[in-house]
Chain A
Amino acid sequence: MNIVGRRNWYFLLSLAIILPGILSMLFFGFRLGIDFAGGDQFNIEFKQPTQAAVIQREMDTFNVEATVQQAGPNNVLITTKPLGTKEETAVRDDLNKKFGGTVASSAFVGPTIAKELVVGAGALILIASILIVAYLSFRFNYKFAVCAILALLHDVFVLTGVYSILGKIFNLQLGEINTLFVTAALTVIGFSVHDTIVIFDRIRENLRQASRLTFEQNVNLSIIQSLARSINTSMTVVFVLVALFLISPQNIKGFTLALLIGIVSGTYSSIFNASPLLVVWRRLDPR
């Protein structure tokens, strides 16, 4: 198997997935959850099956920019602009009186908090990346570190791009960007680097042993030697996540889906992007 030799095809595949995502991010942006946009959200539970459309019509009378989504046969999820205490009580009382709905959960995020969270999430990813580069430069060298971070950025772009498309073009609530999504993105970063390091470790080890292999052959060998491990580990995590995704309630489905996409992308990028990039760099700068 010659993975490094076909690297341009693999880079192309990555681009084919990332480019639409980047375009979608540029032109449409993200579907922001209330923790970033600010607002009120209620998960209302009814005693009998209730259609979201019915509740939407009722909520429209309040004029609070409400969107209502089905969250289960007896459940709807209502999202509104930030409400005052009086408005909020009015909505709750109305839904309770007319439809017998009770609040299973609710969240309110004021506009000031929302802004802080956006800044915070970006900063977290940046700080974590910088520290990881520092550690990898110490353990390997800066070329390895930069390639690991490029693979990491690949995963972040795949993830955010897919979510931009899901949330904005397909208009799915699944594609919402919220605090849980940020948690998922950070997990993916951890996992992606984890995966890349395992292969890099193999390259480091093979390079130390005197052999007649060229750098390129060496990298290819290391990838293939690590392949069973990469796929086995990812498969077990993917199994667990698919199980989680299928049984998780609506409000954390987006979270598990993000983890799933990120883990698959992370496995791909460490095999097909990170190590071949080392080879590209070596060719451009053979020192």
Chain B
Amino acid sequence: MRVDRRLLFVIGVIALLALFIDGFAYVYRAATNQPLTGSMRGVPTLNIGFLGFSQQIYVHRGLDLQGGTHLELEITQVRSGTPVREARDIAVQIVERRVNSSGYAESVVRPEGDNRIIVELPGVNLEQAKQILGKTSYLTIWEWVPGTADAKTLQELNPTDANKYQGFKPQFTNIDGSMVTSASRSTDPSTNLPDVQFSFNSKGSDLFCTLTRDRVSHPQGQPENKIAIFIDKDLVEDANVQSEICGGTGIITGGFTAASAQALAIQLNSGALPGTINLVSSTEVGATLGASTVKLSLLAGAFGLAIVILFMLLYYRLPGVVASLALLLYAAIALAIFKIFGVTLTLAGLAGFILSVGMAVDANVLIFERVKEELRAGRTLGAAMEAGVHRAWPAIRDSNISTLITCFVLYFFGAPLIKGFAITLAIGVLVSMFSAIVTTQQFLQILAGLRPARRLAFYGVQAPKAA
């Protein structure tokens, strides 16, 4: 096979494209008149107007590399009548609202499985995260009736609160946060104290009207005159009812500061959660640890690449130069793919990438060993190179496909951490096949055409005797 000019052109275009994307941050800085070093304003974005193309180009770092908190929440005790998936979707919306109103950029809230929610909060530690999410609560309204609380009630409510009044137990009124359409902090005009106004939907309004009418018939100050508002398990308001409330709106007064009234209003707004949210797992990484991990991985990657290049040069000589070039191009292309497709790089992902470097080297080693054999058998350089690539191909194909099968299984069935590993390994393997079969082969063919490169000693092979 001769040097294929069209293929070389394609390699050149891909290489330039990859380098452009890898160095895009500098292009962006130049285009937005920023200095080339130091922190950068904005996110590098490539806009190609006439194609309608717009893509942010930067390395998406996982939480373990940039610092942040990853939480997995589970919805349990879903209210009867609500399908689990629907409850989950409602919960996702509520959590999203909470997270967004706290102003955390680049956060992720997404459903996972039937009853789980994944929340990712970059740059937030666990305690802040819990504060943000802790308030996404389920609001219920209860009335006090004679009797003692049974086991089921004690499970749903905090026992101290449920047994607040001797001889009375809380009974659920079927009014919950899902019926609250809005709530806001306001000020009582007569006392000038903060209070919370809220409004119900029609179902809630009817239930609340009946409830207050009944409550008002009991003497003031008695438990039976009160309505108890619970957020999750805790009693937050145990109010006397002074008159029936039937207009679909109500006011909660008593003992608020401006801040606590504001907090309750937010809780009421997000209180429509049709179940209980539990934290089932969390991972938190501090920003400093993340930064030092990045440094370490870059160091390991550079070190590894250096060793590999050194080894290839010493052992395979001239083809080693070709392999090193192909390897650098491979690294540039893989990085460009990570950037342009927004592949999130995590520690496990970096491990997958570094492993794929090993596999890229392997493809080159396979080819060179075959080339050596062919040269020893007395073939000409060009023929040996062509045969080498040709005969190494089945091994490269089959071994890489079996790795891709493993990646496929890992990606579709694995935990998020394993997914990250699978995707970078798969990209790495695919690019490495291109690198070995197209890039290395073409470079070798160029070598074969150069007169000074024809000495067999450059390939670590002694010339066959009396050929």
Measuring CB to CB, which residues of chain A are less than 8 angstroms from any residue of chain B? 35, 43, 45, 85, 89, 92, 102-110, 112-113, 117, 120, 123-124, 127-128, 131-132, 135-136, 139, 179-180, 182-183, 186-187, 189-191, 193-195, 197-198, 201-202, 204-205, 225, 228-229, 232-233, 235-237, 239-240, 243-244, 247-249, 252, 255, 259
User: B280 contacts A240, CB within 8 Å?
Assistant: no
Question: In the complex, what residue of chain B is closest to A88 when comparing beta carbons?
Answer: B126
User: A180 contacts B348, CB within 8 Å?
Assistant: yes
Residues of A within 8 Å of B308, CB to CB, are 236, 239-240
B31 interface residue (CB < 8 Å to A): no
Given contacts A194-B402, A244-B354, A247-B296, contact A131 B409 (CB under 8 A): yes
User: A183 contacts B304, CB within 8 Å?
Assistant: no
Contact of B413 (CB < 8 Å), options: A89, A123, A248: A123
Residues of A within 8 Å of B307, CB to CB, are 236, 239-240, 243
Question: In the complex, what residue of chain A is closest to B284 when comparing beta carbons?
Answer: A106
CA of A216 to CA of B227, assembled, Å = 88
User: B130 contacts A190, CB within 8 Å?
Assistant: no
Query: Counting chain A CB atoms within 10 Å of each CB, which of B130, B352, B403, B425 scores highest?
Result: B403
Residues of B within 8 Å of A106, CB to CB, are 126, 282-284
B405 interface residue (CB < 8 Å to A): yes
Question: In the complex, what residue of chain B is closest to A110 when comparing beta carbons?
Answer: B280
Which 3 pairs across A and B sit closest by C-beta, in order of nearness? A240-B304, A201-B395, A194-B399
Given contacts A232-B315, A244-B300, A255-B351, contact A180 B402 (CB under 8 A): no
- The smallest C-beta distance from A76 to any residue of chain B, in angstroms, reads 14
Given contacts A110-B280, A131-B409, contact A194 B366 (CB under 8 A): no
Question: In the complex, what residue of chain A is closest to B410 when comparing beta carbons?
Answer: A186
Question: In the complex, what residue of chain A is closest to B369 when comparing beta carbons?
Answer: A229
Residues of A within 8 Å of B391, CB to CB, are 205
User: B406 contacts A103, CB within 8 Å?
Assistant: no
User: B304 contacts A229, CB within 8 Å?
Assistant: no
Contact of A233 (CB < 8 Å), options: B283, B365, B405, B408: B365
Question: How many residues on the B side are at the interface (Cβ–Cβ under 8 A)?
Answer: 66
Residues of B within 8 Å of A179, CB to CB, are 415, 417-418
Question: Chain B 380-424 against A: per-residue CB contact (8 Å), 1 yes, 0 no?
Answer: 000000000001001100111111011111100111011001000
Chain A contact residues, majority secondary structure: helix
CA of A117 to CA of B414, assembled, Å = 9
Residues of B within 8 Å of A240, CB to CB, are 300, 303-304, 307-308, 354, 357-358
Query: How many A-B residue contacts, CB cutoff 8 Å?
Result: 188
CA of A113 to CA of B73, assembled, Å = 11
B311 interface residue (CB < 8 Å to A): yes
User: A183 contacts B127, CB within 8 Å?
Assistant: no
CA of A92 to CA of B130, assembled, Å = 14
CA of A132 to CA of B407, assembled, Å = 11
B286 interface residue (CB < 8 Å to A): yes
User: A128 contacts B361, CB within 8 Å?
Assistant: no
Extra pairs beyond A92-B127, A109-B281, A131-B409 (20, CB < 8 Å): A45-B286, A89-B127, A102-B286, A104-B289, A106-B126, A106-B284, A117-B415, A124-B409, A131-B408, A139-B398, A186-B410, A190-B425, A193-B406, A198-B366, A198-B395, A205-B391, A232-B311, A239-B304, A248-B296, A249-B296
Residues of B within 8 Å of A186, CB to CB, are 406, 410, 418
- The smallest C-beta distance from B79 to any residue of chain A, in angstroms, reads 21
CA of A198 to CA of B134, assembled, Å = 55
- The smallest C-beta distance from B428 to any residue of chain A, in angstroms, reads 12
CA of A35 to CA of B395, assembled, Å = 37
User: B415 contacts A244, CB within 8 Å?
Assistant: no
Q: Please name 12 pairs of A and B residues whose Cβ atoms are closer than 8 Å in the assembled complex, sorted by A.
A: A103-B284, A108-B282, A124-B414, A127-B409, A179-B415, A186-B418, A194-B362, A194-B403, A229-B366, A233-B358, A236-B311, A236-B361
